[in-house]
Structure 1
Amino acid sequence: MTGAAPRLRSPPRNGGVRHSPETARKKSPPPPPSSSAGGIWESAHFLKWTAADALRLPVRHPIPCVLAASLLFFMAVEYTLRMIPATSQPFDLGFAATAALHRGLAASPRLNTLLAGLNTVFVGMQTMYILWTWVIEGRPRSTIAALFMFTCRGILGYATQLPLPQGFLGSGADFPVGNVGFFLFFSGHVAASVIASQDMKRLQRCHLARLFDTLNALQILRLLTTRGHYTIDLAAGLAAGVLFDSIAGEYQISHKLNH
């Protein structure tokens, strides 16, 4: 029997599954983004901005605009300000603002002792509330935050030991009681009060939180007046209270997930 031999077809690839050209195009990987300078600039975000966007920016984002203006202002101040000589005391705006109160308190030692005693009572209130939330109510977040905070304060306070401000009005009734030494940076008085206040706000104890915030503001004013802390110590204390309360909350969440 003569004739051409039958042609054998090679087995299809991909396990015998044939793909149409449309399917092949769908499954092909997308081309990588262009790394050329032209490709980057063509997709740059700022090219999409319009004049209307710029005019609406202060209305839509007032806080970032204020912060940007503040950045430019303080850049100008920083680059034109004369540095404080190494032999001089630091310049402190809070001390300058409370100069009259400082003179009055320096002339009234009994009033200074009374205010120092009241400050110690307030520190006791902070401590009692923070421990109460753990020991009585079974909520350890504030106690954990205080432990984080005081540990960090000890490390930073020891690492950079600031000089005691000139004109410091100490008192044996103040906390730490007995006119003993203490770290200036940052203020544990202020940070502990913020930690307690944050807990009160979470539990809707609004009146108690407002009381603590008011006493904390008075405490800050007194510490500036007595030169017991620099302004930076008090500002950092406020930030530390919020920060370590947040860290304690994250710690509790991660601890529950891992156990």
Structure 2
Amino acid sequence: MSTKTVVPLRRRSNPLNGKHTNGVSVDGQSRRIGSVNSEMENIVKKTDNGYANGGGGGGGRSKASFLTWTARDAVYVARHHWIPCLFAVGVLFFTGVEYTLQMIPARSEPFDIGFVATRSLNRVLASSPDLNTVLAALNTVFVGMQTTYIVWTWLMEGRPRATISACFMFTCRGILGYSTQLPLPQDFLGSGVDFPVGNVSFFLFYSGHVAGSMIASLDMRRMKRFRLAMLFDILNVLQSIRLLGTRGHYTIDLAVGVGAGILFDSFAGKYEEMMSKRHNLGNGFSLISKDSLVK
């Protein structure tokens, strides 16, 4: 009877990492299937321990997540996730401030740290009406630049996202501004050429000046118009300082204006995505019907 040489079968290597898992060489060393399975079981057990009891499929064997934390984990978080750590410290700090700070009396002017920082500018503008008028006119020009760009992206470039975002933003600003009407600061320095032109009344919360500039800047960055976006950001900072100096907005109005610009730009993007899927617009979103595009 002839003897045959039996050649052990080998699995193919994993195409993702080039490693063998059936007794074949892994990084120059031999590893049996049993050792691989054992290692995988350890990983699964360690993962299960990261969940609370009854969560993650661990059942009664699972532990609360914090029970698995070590000093090494704390060092890793502090080094690689320092931004949320910094905000966590801020939470603790301002919790203490909120519990110990005396409230502003009902008949007093609101306290605004931006007003404190721009006292000197307020005095200069109050003593120089012509300078105040020039700065107001320049700021109105900047508002016109924002509006022109936002409308241009829709009418000339066929990209309505910025326009939709501005519609969302200004409508919500009107609702919030009317719902809670903040008192006009006593040191307010108005101008007939400031926006809204004519020195008329306006909503303080939140700043449409800042939010509109953010919407335009975000669109510029999407289109890789980085220099133009940088210019708008610089002008946005300058207009914020002027608005504080003239007491045309509270600091909270300006801060929320930045967030509102980002938020409603995101909402407009989600709206475009939703409508594109609903109407099967493979080439992107448009306010024009598909029949019109074919024509």
Q: TM-score, normalised by structure 2?
A: 0.74
Change (3 A) 1:113 1:52: same
- Structure 1 residue 184 corresponds to structure 2 residue 204: yes
| Structure 1: distance between partners of 2:54 and 2:191 | 70
The equivalent residue for 1:213 is 233
Distance of 1:235 and 1:55 partners within structure 2: 33
> What is the distance in 2 between the residues matched to 1:61 and 1:240?
26
Distance 2:193 2:161 in 1: 30
Give the Cα separation in 1 of the matches to 2:175 and 2:133: 30
Instruction: State the shift of 1:160 in Å.
Output: 0.2
Task: Note if 1:85 corresponds to 2:105.
Answer: yes
**Which 4+ runs in 1 deviate beyond 6 A?**
none
Match of 1:48 in 2: 68
Distance 1:133 1:168 in 2: 35
What one-letter code is carried by the residue in structure 2 that aligns with 1:78?
Answer: E
Deviation at 1:41, TM superposition (A): 8.3
Q: What does 1:36-115 align with in structure 2 at a 5 Å threshold?
A: 42-115=62-135
The secondary structure found in structure 1 opposite 2:202 is coil
Give SS of 1:168's match: coil
Q: Matches of 1:55 and 1:190 in 2, distance apart?
A: 39
1-structure distance, mates of 2:92, 2:60: 29
Structure 2: which 5+ residue stretches go unaligned? 1-52, 280-295
RMSD: 1.4
Note if 1:145 corresponds to 2:165.
yes
Give unmatched runs, 5+ long, in structure 1: 1-32
Residues 17-36 of structure 1 mapped to structure 2, 5 A cutoff: none
Structure 1 residues 64 and 40: CA distance shift in structure 2, 3 A: farther
Tell me by how many angstroms 1:34 deviates. 5.7
Are positions 1:230 and 2:250 aligned together? Answer: yes
In the alignment, is the contact (CA less than 8 A) between 2:54 and 2:62 conserved in 1? no
Equivalents in 1 of 2:147, 2:255: separation in Å? 20
**TM-score normalised by the chain length of structure 1:** 0.84
Please say which structure displays the higher CA radius of gyration.
Answer: 1
Letter in 2 for 1:171: S
Q: Of 222, 235, 238, which residue of structure 2 is paired with 1:202? A: 222
Q: Select the residue among 146, 152, 156 that pairs with 1:136.
A: 156
Higher relative contact order (CA 8 A, sep 6+): 1
Give the 3-state SS of the residue equivalent to 2:105 in structure 1.
coil
